Amino acid sequence: MSYATLAGLFLLAAVVVAVVLRVAARRSLTPLALITTIVVLAALTAVFDSVMIAASFFHYDPSQLLGITIGLAPIEDFAYPLAGAILLPALWGLLTSRGHRTELTGPDGSGESR
């Protein structure tokens, strides 16, 4: 199985779970928040994966890669932060929509801590 196939399956699973969670939470995701998160995570992935590859912490079998890189990071590496950017806000939306949010209150119950 190539890295692209593995990354694609992982991303597909994350998207399916995110859609199910969003429907269950009955909440939508702000497109600007999603895009901003994806851009930041992609930049961090490009920098830190390139550093780790340059330091020889890990390597890839070139025959299993598509050959497209950003810095030293193969394009397949970007599926995982993309999946996180899609999946985690959906999970957060589900958890906060069902009353799992905790309120911080002060000693007198006023909502102000002392």
Give pLDDT tens digits for 43-81: 999 999 999 999 999 888 888 888 899 999 999 999 999
- Number of domains observed in the structure of the chain: 1
What's the confidence (pLDDT) of residue 31? 80
- 105 located within any domain: no
103 band by pLDDT with thresholds 50, 70 and 90: low
Domain-embedded: residue 113: no
**Distance separating alpha carbons of residues 65 and 45, to the nearest angstrom:** 17
pTM value is: 0.69
Which residue, 96, 73, 89, 92, is CA-closest to 38? 89
Could you tell me if residue 45 is inside a domain?
A: yes
Q: Is the pLDDT of residue 99 over 70?
A: no
Q: Which domain holds residue 73?
A: 3-97
In a domain, 109, yes or no: no
Helix axes 79-97, 3-25, angle to 10 degrees: 20
